[in-house]
Amino acid sequence: MTSLTNSFRLTGLALLFVLVGTAALAQNNVDDLTPYQTFVRTENKNLNFSGTQVSAFNSVTLTCPASHSAGCTVVVQVSSQFRSRRCCRDWGNFNINVSVSGSGSQVFPNPSVKVGGMGHMMMGRDLANAETFQWMRTGIPAGEQQTVDMKFSTDGFDGTAGYRTAVVHLNLN
């Protein structure tokens, strides 16, 4: 059970992510996007991992149309089940890392995000939590090819990802 203090911390952290994301959108002027292409990756086989990043999905390669001089923005959304492979002994976080090759902005809000915890937040081998997070990269030049990679890791314990989906949107600025 989460204490009141931890609830306030989690609420404050969530608010910070919303504010940073809003500031990033405003700073990069991506408030009027037009959908161009969408790529969906799904997996239903267990993926075991630990402190070293492993590919959660096949890479997605996309190209901003050369005819679109305003450039493009990529939005990546990853959803997955996560669980520990060892009951009640693991403490730490599940991490999702999204990288986008080529030029453009950094990946917002951060390429690596801690999305779930073991120990104080989730106990037991057979309990899985589901997590979803979204990233974006702006300022992709017209005609440039980009590759999106999505990887999972933990803070060092043995984790498993079950059913998972990644959606990559290429948008015209």
What is the reported pLDDT for 89?
55
For the stretch 104-146, pLDDT in tens is 999 999 999 998 766 544 444 456 778 999 999 999 999 999 9
How many residues in the chain? 173
Confirm whether 7 is domain-assigned: no
Within 8 A by CB and 6+ apart from 12, the residues are none
User: Which CATH number characterizes residue 134's domain?
Assistant: 2.60.120.1340
Confirm whether 27 is domain-assigned: no
What is the reported pLDDT for 53?
95
39 backbone dihedrals φ, ψ, rounded to 5°: -120, 135
- Residues of the chain below pLDDT 50: 1-27, 120-125
How many domains does the chain divide into? 1
Confirm whether 55 is domain-assigned: yes
Confirm whether 63 is domain-assigned: yes
In this prediction the pTM is: 0.77
Q: What share of the chain is helix, strand, coil (3-state, %, to 5)?
A: 15, 50, 35
What is the reported pLDDT for 29?
56
Q: Which domain holds residue 157?
A: 32-172
Q: What is the number of other CB atoms lying within 10 angstroms of the CB of residue 14?
A: 10
Confirm whether 67 is domain-assigned: yes
Classified as helix, coil or strand, 172 is strand
